[in-house]
Amino acid sequence: MDKKTLDLLKGYLAKAEEKLRVAKTLLKNEGYDDCVSRAYYCAFHAAQALLLTEGFSANTHQGVLNFFGLNFVKTGRFDRKFGKILSTLKDERENGDYEIYSAIDEEVAKVAVKEAEDFLKEARHYLNKYLKG
């Protein structure tokens, strides 16, 4: 992997960490809609870092989901639950961001933060070979 791509990968991971930190703060402050949004973006940026290892960059959210599913879940490199996490977080983010009366409550937000944390941890584990090499 060239230096430019590695720097971009590290940037996506740093952005994912930042979004997770903000999601946790929003959860504590009862900002549940925005908490779920930040949790989604944590997983989204981690997924973008993963896509770079395949030489791919998506222009849309759905493109990231599709590529992750086809190249990481269907190939067995990631458990199916991680594809589901990314998809569910996207749906919940859209609900929280766009619905006037969203269904996002404290429990949904707690689960979103935990799932984003799990997704980021798994992505970091996979990416270690690129980060240490």
**7-24: b or e for each residue (b if 16 or more CB lie within 10 Å)?**
ebbeebbebbeebbebbb
Q: Is residue 133 pLDDT above 70, yes or no? A: no
Query: What number is the average pLDDT over the span 34-59?
Result: 97
**CATH number of this structure's domain 3-132, picked from the four choices 2.40.30.10, 1.20.120.330, 3.40.50.2300, 3.40.50.10490:** 1.20.120.330
Torsions phi, psi for 108 (to 5 deg): -60, -40
pLDDT, position 52: 97
What is the C-alpha separation between 50 and 47, in angstroms, rounded?
5
44 within 8 A of 123, measured Cβ to Cβ: no
Query: What number is the average pLDDT over the span 101-116?
Result: 97
CB-CB neighbours of 99 under 10 Å: 11
Quote the pTM value: 0.96
Tell me: the pLDDT tens digits for 15-43? 999 999 999 999 999 999 999 999 999 99
Tell me: the pLDDT tens digits for 69-105? 999 999 999 999 999 999 999 999 999 999 999 999 9
pLDDT, position 132: 86
What ranges do the domains of the chain cover?
Answer: 3-132
What is the C-alpha separation between 81 and 71, in angstroms, rounded?
14
3-class state of residue 29 by DSSP: coil
What is the C-alpha separation between 37 and 55, in angstroms, rounded?
27
pLDDT, position 8: 97
